[in-house]
Amino acid sequence: MKINLSQLVAGKIDLVEVHFSYTIDDENILKQYDIVEATPFHFSGKIYKKNEEFYIDADFSGVVTFRCNRCLNDFKQTIDGKLFSNILISDNFNEQEDEKNLYLKEDILDLSTIIEETITLSLPMKVVCSKECKGLCASCGANLNETKCNCNQEKIDPRLEKLKIFFNKDKEV
Ligand SMILES: [Zn+2]
Ligand SMILES: [Zn+2]
C-alpha cells in the first residue's frame, strides 16, 4: 500500500484523504491468530501536516472468522481500531531507520508494514467464541455448549461408592 504525497509535501494541499482496503493473507498470521477467513479491512482517514510534521490518522474495521480455541466452532467478530502515527521524512537512505517509525521516501509513503502491525495488535490474544464457552469434553469430545455428555455427571452406584471408600481407606493404610 503506497501513497504518493508529493502534493502535500510541496504544500499545494493541506491534507490527503485515504480510503483503502487491506486483506490479511499471510499464512503465519492466519494460523497464529486462529483466523479461518478475513474479509478486507477498510481503512478511512487522512494524512495531514501539523507543525512541520506529517501524520496519518485513520479508522479501520473488518470482519474476521475465528476458530474458537475451546470448542473449535467458527465464529465471526468485527475488529476495529485506529491507525495513528507520525511520518518521518527520509530522503537519505543512510539514515538510521527504526522499523517502528513510518518514513516518507521521495514523497512515497509505504503503509504495508504498519497496516499489518496495527491489525494484528487489535486481534484478540485469546480466541474464544464467548466468555461462557464450555469447550469440548476431554473424554468424549462432545461440544458442551450444544449438548450434555454423560462423562462427568454419571451417578455413582451407592454400592460402588462404598467400595470406593473401602479402596481409599485401604490406600491410606
Ligand atoms: Zn467456543
Ligand atoms: Zn463427555
81 and 61: one domain?
yes
65 has which bridge partners? 37, 76
Residue (of 115, 102, 134, 130) closest to 38 by Cα position = 115
117 and 146: one domain?
no
* Residues 154-163 pLDDT 10s: 545 555 556 5
User: Which helix (H) or strand (E) is 92 found in, with range?
Assistant: none
- How many Å apart are CA 41 and CA 18, to the nearest integer? 13
* Residues 59-115 pLDDT 10s: 999 999 999 999 999 999 999 999 999 998 876 555 556 666 788 888 999 998 899
- How many Å apart are CA 31 and CA 33, to the nearest integer? 6
pTM: 0.76
At 147, list the grid cell: 449438548
Q: How far is the CA of 68 from the centre of ligand 1 (A)?
A: 5
Question: Which bound ligand lies closest to the C-alpha atom of 72?
Answer: 1
- How many Å apart are CA 22 and CA 20, to the nearest integer? 7
Show the domain range for 46.
2-122
Query: Contact at 8 Å (CB) between 11 and 34?
Result: no
In the structure, what pLDDT confidence band is assigned to residue 19 with cuts at 50, 70 and 90?
very high
116 and 57: one domain?
yes
At 101, list the grid cell: 517509525
Question: Which bound ligand lies closest to the C-alpha atom of 70?
Answer: 1
Q: How far is the CA of 33 from the centre of ligand 1 (A)?
A: 15
77 and 139: one domain?
no
At 161, list the grid cell: 461408592
- How many Å apart are CA 173 and CA 170, to the nearest integer? 5
First-to-last alpha carbon distance for the chain, in angstroms, is: 73
Domain count of the chain? 2
Question: Which bound ligand lies closest to the C-alpha atom of 71?
Answer: 1
106 and 157: one domain?
no
55 has which bridge partners? 48, 86
